[in-house]
Amino acid sequence: MAAPMSAYPLHIQGVTRSFPGQGKAGPTLALQPTDLTVAPGEFVAILGPSGCGKSTLLRIVAGLDRPSGGTVRLGAREVTGPGPDRGMVFQSYTLFPWLTVADNIRYGLVERGVPAAEQREILARFLARTGLQGFENHWPRQLSGGMQQRTALARALANDPEILLLDEPFGALDHQTRELMQELLLEIWQEGDGSGVAGGRKTVLFVTHDIDEAIFLANRVVVMSARPGRIKAEVEVALPYPREWMVKTTPEFAALKARLMGEIREEVRRAATG
C-alpha cells in the first residue's frame, strides 16, 4: 500500500533564483544554492532580514515562481506549479472582495467539486475553529485585519493541504492582534486531527522577520543570510508543546532569542549596508 500523502517530506535541493537586470545592469542573484528538508508534521520558521530571499523561496515551494536551478519535491513529486497539496497565506489581505467570508473559505472546495453537504460541514468546522461564526455573510471590507487573516487561514486549511505556507501573515497586524493570531495558528496546528503522521499535524513553512514569533511557533528555525540568501544556521527549538504565551517569559526562551539575535544581527547589518 502506498504511504499516505501526509507521510511525504518536503525536499528543497540546490534551489537558486536569479532575476534579470534592468537596462545595462546584470542579473540579481536572490538565492544561492539552498537545501532544506522539512519532515511531515514539522513546523519550520524561516527567519532573515528584509530582501534575503525567504519569500522568494516560499513562492517557489508554492509553485508561484520557478527556480533558476535546483528542484523542490513533495515526496517523489516535483513541484512545477501551484496545487491543492499546498496552501498559502500571504502578508497582504488576499480575500476575494466579491465573495463573503463563507464563500471565501469554501472557494477551494467549490473548485474541486466537493459535494455541498461536505462543504457545509467543513465550513462550519473552520468557522468555529477561527471564531468567525456570525460573520459568514460579511464582506471582506467589513472585517478587521485580524478577521481577514483568520478567514484567509480558514480558507487555506479548509482545502486540507499537505503543507501550509505562510509568508509573514501577521506582519501587518497590531501587536496584540498579532499575538492572538500566533496563538490561534499554534492551537490549530497542535490539535491536528489525532491521526496519521505526527498526530495529523500539518507540515508548516512560516516566513518571518520576528525572532519571538519564530521561537514561539516553530520546532526548528532556519536563519537566512543577507542577499544573496543562503541558509546560515538551523536552530532546534526544544520548548515542549503545547505552548502558551507564558513560555515567552522563560529563561529557555530568552536563551534561544539571544542565540538567534546573534545569528541574525550581522545579516541585518549587511542587508542595511548593501
Residue 3: predicted pLDDT: 39
Q: Does one domain contain both 178 and 51?
A: yes
φ/ψ of 109, rounded to 5, equals -65, -40
Question: Which residues form the domain of 239?
Answer: 30-85+162-274
Q: Does one domain contain both 244 and 127?
A: no
**In-domain check, residue 14:** no
DSSP of 47-87: E--TTSSHHHHHHHHHTSS--SEEEEEETTEEP-S--TTEE
Q: Do 65 and 1 meet the contact criterion of CB atoms below 8 Å apart?
A: no
Q: Does one domain contain both 64 and 167?
A: yes
**CATH for 57:** 3.40.50.300
Cell of 72: 523542490
Q: Do 90 and 266 meet the contact criterion of CB atoms below 8 Å apart?
A: no
Q: Does one domain contain both 233 and 274?
A: yes
- Mind listing the pLDDT tens digit for each residue in 72-118? 999 889 999 999 899 999 888 789 999 999 999 999 999 999 999 99
Q: Does one domain contain both 252 and 268?
A: yes
Q: Does one domain contain both 76 and 53?
A: yes
Q: Does one domain contain both 136 and 264?
A: no
**In-domain check, residue 113:** yes
Q: pTM higher than 0.75, yes or no?
A: yes
Q: Place 1 in a pLDDT band, splitting at 50, 70 and 90.
A: very low
Q: Place 2 in a pLDDT band, splitting at 50, 70 and 90.
A: very low
Q: Does one domain contain both 143 and 170?
A: no
Average pLDDT, the chain: 90
Q: Does one domain contain both 246 and 169?
A: yes
Domain termination site, one of 108, 139, 160: 160
Domain termination site, one of 142, 160, 178: 160
Q: Does one domain contain both 65 and 171?
A: yes
Q: Does one domain contain both 77 and 167?
A: yes
CA distance 232 to 224: 5
Q: What is the domain count for the chain?
A: 2
Q: Place 247 in a pLDDT band, splitting at 50, 70 and 90.
A: very high
Q: Do 6 and 200 meet the contact criterion of CB atoms below 8 Å apart?
A: yes
Q: Does one domain contain both 179 and 74?
A: yes
Residue 76: predicted pLDDT: 87
The rounded Cα 125 to chain-centroid distance in angstroms is: 21
Domain termination site, one of 125, 160, 195: 160
Helix 145-158, helix 175-191: angle, nearest 10: 20
- Mind listing the pLDDT tens digit for each residue in 251-271? 999 999 999 999 998 888 887
Q: Give the amino acid at 164.
A: L
Question: What letters, b where the CB count within 10 A reaches 16 and e where it falls short, cover 209-224?
Answer: bbbbbbbbbbbbbbbb
Q: Is the pLDDT of residue 198 over 80?
A: no
